[in-house]
Chains A and B, each alone.
Chain A
């Protein structure tokens, strides 16, 4: 984490810090992870447009009392491919990893093609996105083949 960031939001003792989030994507991430709708007992803090040596600007998401799982990390990667995940225990970062886009994403990103079977009403079908290019990342709809890029994802998130 960059120096000086502690001035904006205090350090957490136990939980997850999602760092190097593309500016403006922090709320998309929280939405996809379901924390906007159901924060539960968790204390969540968000910094939008923090200064970053690497990225110029970045967002930071801190979730106290919650350790993000592998599947959730994949979702973060789809929304913000350069993000890093820090696991904090007893006030120390015990693990730091770069997120990786999952090979397939089921049910979270809807297909942008209005005549895709996954968009048809009254059909018991979940959208399926298959990873075709890890850099980007770029996904392909498993049903109709339409390509979906990271920049398309925020508007395609299913709620």
Chain B
């Protein structure tokens, strides 16, 4: 399934599917989420502000969705060709809470599938066994590629260093929940902004709102990639690249921290040079951070946030992880409902 959405999904890539029209779904769209029905989720930029706002409203009242079991009789394939626990479990929980079932391809299965046949054939197989496919892969562009092949909607569960749209959705939802909205906030994004897909997707997601300012904080080798900066420039988002978070800390309403993506850094020597180059500690925060500062992290963390922050009022990363299931529920209900 591929719906033309601006420049991220070129129309010539549309692959007519011979099976179109064979399956017939008569489900009623979930109120407020009509815009999501049958849609692929490749990049956070596929979604407008109003799309995201209706998603967040649906996430607020997700208990109502649970009782309606909108995914009853539906199967969602979770194809994780890259190790993942958190995202996969979060999706699995979301599907099951909505009354649906999952078909999980991960770990050993994923490896043997990957060895035996090409991705295109695997996607065709999953497409015929399920109603939607969530896919994670270490190659950039896999979700878009899968969406061109599959008839069912495809949700990007992370493609290499590029996109992680559902993470960005839950990050923005967390900020909205804790701070009442994103507009007018000063947001710092700290860490591996080059190889980390969560960071890139979050930054791109911010362009859908009107934060007062965004600080892109990283050691020089981990700066935001030029294609992402180019997109920021196009939207007119006010941002500044800095190296040390302590300098801008007093201004921040939100600090989004990410780990260094060791597995994606081409040169191992590079990782050794930059590992441990930033760390958020309670001592740094004390007396300098705004009292209302909220610290987010897509998790898992290595040593970027010291454990003493966990029990402070700044900690929002555990809340964020919990809210993830709600957002994924709303999204899946919207797509498949």
A residues in contact (CB < 8 Å) with B? 104, 106, 113, 115-118, 120, 122-125, 128, 130, 132, 140-147
Nearest CB of B to A74, in Å: 14
B141 near A118 with CB under 8 A, answer yes
A123 near B119 with CB under 8 A, answer yes
| With contact pairs A140-B227, A147-B230 given, residues A116 and B118 touching in the complex (Cβ less than 8 Å) | no
5 chain-A/chain-B pairs, Cβ below 8 angstroms:
A104-B10, A117-B141, A117-B159, A124-B118, A144-B162
B10 near A115 with CB under 8 A, answer no
B residues in contact (CB < 8 Å) with A? 7, 10, 12-13, 118-120, 137-142, 144-145, 159-162, 225-228, 230
B227 partner residues in chain A, CB cutoff 8 A = 140, 145-147
Task: Across the interface, name the chain A residue whose C-beta is closest to B146.
Answer: A117
| With contact pairs A120-B139, A128-B10 given, residues A143 and B144 touching in the complex (Cβ less than 8 Å) | yes
B13 partner residues in chain A, CB cutoff 8 A = 128, 142
B230 partner residues in chain A, CB cutoff 8 A = 132, 147
A140 partner residues in chain B, CB cutoff 8 A = 227
Q: How far is the CA of A115 from the CA of B140 in the complex (A)?
A: 6
B120 partner residues in chain A, CB cutoff 8 A = 123-125
Chain A to chain B: the 10 pairs with minimum beta-carbon distance, closest first? A143-B141, A144-B140, A117-B141, A122-B118, A145-B227, A144-B141, A117-B145, A117-B139, A147-B227, A117-B142
| With contact pairs A120-B119, A128-B10, A130-B10 given, residues A147 and B145 touching in the complex (Cβ less than 8 Å) | no
Task: Across the interface, name the chain A residue whose C-beta is closest to B117.
Answer: A122
Nearest CB of A to B250, in Å: 34
Q: How far is the CA of A143 from the CA of B120 in the complex (A)?
A: 15
Q: How far is the CA of A37 from the CA of B12 in the complex (A)?
A: 28
Q: How far is the CA of A33 from the CA of B7 in the complex (A)?
A: 27
Q: How far is the CA of A115 from the CA of B138 in the complex (A)?
A: 7
Q: How far is the CA of A117 from the CA of B141 in the complex (A)?
A: 5
B160 near A144 with CB under 8 A, answer yes
A117 near B140 with CB under 8 A, answer yes
Task: Across the interface, name the chain A residue whose C-beta is closest to B9.
Answer: A142
Task: Across the interface, name the chain B residue whose C-beta is closest to A124.
Answer: B120
A143 partner residues in chain B, CB cutoff 8 A = 140-141, 144-145
B12 partner residues in chain A, CB cutoff 8 A = 104, 106, 128
B140 partner residues in chain A, CB cutoff 8 A = 113, 115-117, 143-146
**In the complex, which of the residues A118, A123, A130, A146 contacts B7, with contact meaning CB atoms closer than 8 Å?**
A130
Q: How far is the CA of A125 from the CA of B144 in the complex (A)?
A: 11
Q: How far is the CA of A142 from the CA of B162 in the complex (A)?
A: 12
* Given A115-B160, A141-B141, 19 extra CB contacts under 8 A: A104-B10, A113-B140, A116-B140, A120-B119, A123-B118, A124-B118, A125-B120, A125-B145, A128-B13, A130-B7, A142-B144, A143-B140, A143-B141, A145-B140, A145-B162, A145-B227, A146-B140, A147-B226, A147-B230
Task: Across the interface, name the chain B residue whose C-beta is closest to A148.
Answer: B227
Q: How far is the CA of A142 from the CA of B143 in the complex (A)?
A: 12
Nearest CB of B to A120, in Å: 6
Q: How far is the CA of A113 from the CA of B141 in the complex (A)?
A: 11
A116 partner residues in chain B, CB cutoff 8 A = 139-141
Q: How far is the CA of A146 from the CA of B7 in the complex (A)?
A: 14
Q: How far is the CA of A144 from the CA of B13 in the complex (A)?
A: 14
Q: How far is the CA of A122 from the CA of B116 in the complex (A)?
A: 11
A146 partner residues in chain B, CB cutoff 8 A = 140, 227
Q: How far is the CA of A122 from the CA of B115 in the complex (A)?
A: 11
Task: Pick from A122, A125, A130, A143 the residue with the most CB of B within 10 Å.
Answer: A143
**In the complex, which of the residues A115, A122, A142, A147 contacts B139, with contact meaning CB atoms closer than 8 Å?**
A115
Nearest CB of B to A122, in Å: 4
B228 partner residues in chain A, CB cutoff 8 A = 145
Nearest CB of A to B174, in Å: 25
Q: How far is the CA of A128 from the CA of B230 in the complex (A)?
A: 19
Nearest CB of A to B42, in Å: 10
A118 partner residues in chain B, CB cutoff 8 A = 141
Q: How far is the CA of A87 from the CA of B228 in the complex (A)?
A: 41
Q: How far is the CA of A116 from the CA of B161 in the complex (A)?
A: 10
Task: Across the interface, name the chain A residue whose C-beta is closest to B228.
Answer: A145
Task: Pick from A118, A120, A132, A141 the residue with the most CB of B within 10 Å.
Answer: A120
Task: Across the interface, name the chain B residue whose C-beta is closest to A140.
Answer: B227
